[in-house]
Amino acid sequence: MQEIVLTGVSKGFGKQLLLSLSEKYFIHALTRSPEDISFAVELEQQNKIKLYYADLASINEVDAFCDQVLANSNQLLGIINNAGRRFRSSIDTIEYSDLCSLFDVNIHAPFFIIKNLLPLLKKNKYSRIINISSIVGYRGFDDLSGYGMTKGAINSMTKCLASELAEHQVTVNAILPGFCETSYADKFKSNLPLYESTIIRTPLKRWGADTELNGIVEFLLSTHSSYMTGSLITMMVAGLQYDS
Ligand SMILES: NC(=O)c1ccc[n+]([C@@H]2O[C@H](COP(=O)([O-])OP(=O)(O)OC[C@H]3O[C@@H](n4cnc5c(N)ncnc54)[C@H](OP(=O)(O)O)[C@@H]3O)[C@@H](O)[C@H]2O)c1
């Protein structure tokens, strides 16, 4: 069975990806929270996944996680960098420490997971890196400059590594979801004017479901995406119709 690394499996997109992909692949699954992951523990008991615990804000924990995967795996089909820290703050209130923490989790961790596990990807005949970015890395939004900068950086990383790793048959793509029903949805929707502004700018006039990433990821992992690398996939989950 082909093996994949997936981060941020406790909830949201990561939980849905774990449930769906573990039917077809063996998953090295990273979670920070040991709570509320009985679904993952059950999958581990069925030998469909291996669970790892790490806080991606710490580079030492990123390295320790990668060392464990290197010890447990001979080769990888793919890495899905899904875990991410969301943060809303105006430029007036954001602190240096907030930015550092956003960059640690959203860009430094994915970059060093790729770097450390690259030898396992190179061993496969072909392999896939999938970075979960955001529409915020592509369009401007109030109070999301810190988060948006990290997602802009992941888009640049995706394109540069797509070029650099092509000779090893490693493809690198990013998915840029719009607004989707993950763990932040209820709180966000309680601010009605903010929620309505997202619906106005979304072509399908609804938020995406947390399961709507699964098909795109499965396509990117498959041979059907063999000639696709360096792509920033927007709009397919829930894009934004109007500029502003
Ligand atoms: N939902 C959307 O509308 C949307 C839109 C665009 C992009 N995205 C991106 O999609 C990805 C998944 O987000 P989501 O919406 O599914 O959010 P979510 O429900 O909040 O899940 C985020 C996941 O990331 C993990 N995580 C956060 N900080 C971490 C850390 N320091 N170390 C290890 N794990 C950490 C969380 O673990 P804990 O349980 O420990 O917190 C959780 O498993 C993120 O990269 C996000 O930026 C989401």
Q: What is the pLDDT of residues 110-120, one digit of tens each?
A: 999 999 999 99
Cα-to-centroid distance, 212 and ligand 1 (Å): 15
Cα-to-centroid distance, 125 and ligand 1 (Å): 30
pLDDT of residue 236: 46
Select the more confidently predicted residue: 141 or 72. 72
Q: Which residues line ligand 1 (CB under 6 A)?
A: 8, 10-14, 32-33, 55-57, 82-86, 105, 132, 134, 177, 179-180, 182-184
Pocket test for ligand 1, best of 86, 186, 211 (most atoms within 8 A of CB): 86
Which residue ranges form the domains of the chain, and what is each CATH number? 3-177+212-233 (3.40.50.720)
Provide the annotated active-site residues: 147
pLDDT of residue 235: 57
| 133-139: long-range pairs with CB below 8 Å, 24+ | 133/158, 133/174, 133/175, 133/176, 133/232, 134/84, 134/176, 134/177, 135/176, 135/177, 135/178, 135/179, 135/234, 135/239, 135/240, 137/176, 138/176, 138/232, 138/234, 139/240, 139/243
Q: What is the pLDDT of residues 58-71, one digit of tens each?
A: 999 999 999 999 99
pTM for the model:
0.96
Q: Decide if pLDDT at 191 tops 60.
A: yes
Q: Decide if pLDDT at 244 tops 80.
A: no
Q: Decide if pLDDT at 6 tops 70.
A: yes
| Average pLDDT taken over every residue of the chain | 94
pLDDT of residue 237: 43
Q: Decide if pLDDT at 40 tops 90.
A: yes
pLDDT of residue 103: 98
Q: Decide if pLDDT at 75 tops 90.
A: yes
Confidence of residue 242 (pLDDT cuts 50, 70, 90): very low
pLDDT of residue 198: 87
Cα-to-centroid distance, 222 and ligand 1 (Å): 24
pLDDT of residue 239: 46
What mean pLDDT comes out for the span 30-47?
Answer: 95
What mean pLDDT comes out for the span 210-225?
Answer: 96
Point out the least confidently predicted range of 30-34, 162-166, 191-195, 201-205.
201-205
